[in-house]
Amino acid sequence: ASNRYLTALTYIPKAEQALKQPDKITTAKLKSAAGLASIASLDFHAAANNFITVPSELGSEFSDLIAPEDIALYGGICALATFDRHELKQKVIENPKFRFFLELMPRVRELVKSFHDSDYKQLLGILKSLETDIKLDIHLSQHHE
């Protein structure tokens, strides 16, 4: 990971601590930045945990760095890669905060659901349909094989 991402991972918790009562937009921006830095650092579990806790109030407030649809894609893909079925159900499928983002990306929502339900035929079909998006994505392309 580049030094800027490692620096971000160092300073984001400090920023969270320094802000006694951060507003939801600031919290969302910090969680989003931490998620992106975690992807760059290959800590996909931490990335998933950051993205699934981004407050929906973010909307398009941070679209110069990350779009709401990207939060759904990154959170869903990282959760699939690192969460067990129970965690996936509890932290992703039944998460009202993250549901807002999943509604923006129905294919990601269906991807997560099909994995949870062991519907691997549908899962593989959805992954295939997302392949171009992943290959072209600035944050995910380097992790695609």
Kindly report, residue by residue over 26-69, the tens digit of the pLDDT.
889 999 999 999 999 899 999 999 999 999 888 777 878 889 99
Angle between helices 120-136 and 106-116 (to 10 degrees): 140
Distances (CA, A) of 87 to 15, 95, 134: 28, 11, 23
Residue 21 reports pLDDT greater than 90: no
Please report the pLDDT score of residue 7 as a whole number: 82
In one-letter notation, the amino acid at residue 106 is P
Question: Across the chain, where does the E strand assignment appear?
Answer: none
The residue with greater pLDDT, 136 or 25, is: 25
In one-letter notation, the amino acid at residue 111 is L
78, 75, 88, 121: CA torsion to nearest 10:
-70
- Residue 23: Cβ within 10 Å count: 11
> Tokens for 17?
């601590």
Residue 110 reports pLDDT greater than 90: yes
23-27, 78-82, 108-112: the lowest-pLDDT one: 23-27
Residue 1 reports pLDDT greater than 60: no
Please report the pLDDT score of residue 68 as a whole number: 93
- Average per-residue pLDDT for the chain: 88
Per-residue confidence at 2, pLDDT binned at 50, 70, 90?
Answer: low
- 3-class DSSP string for 112-143: HHHHHCCCHHHHHHHHHHHHHHHHHCCCCHHH
| Average pLDDT of span 94-111 | 94
The residue with greater pLDDT, 120 or 139, is: 120
Residue 138 reports pLDDT greater than 60: yes
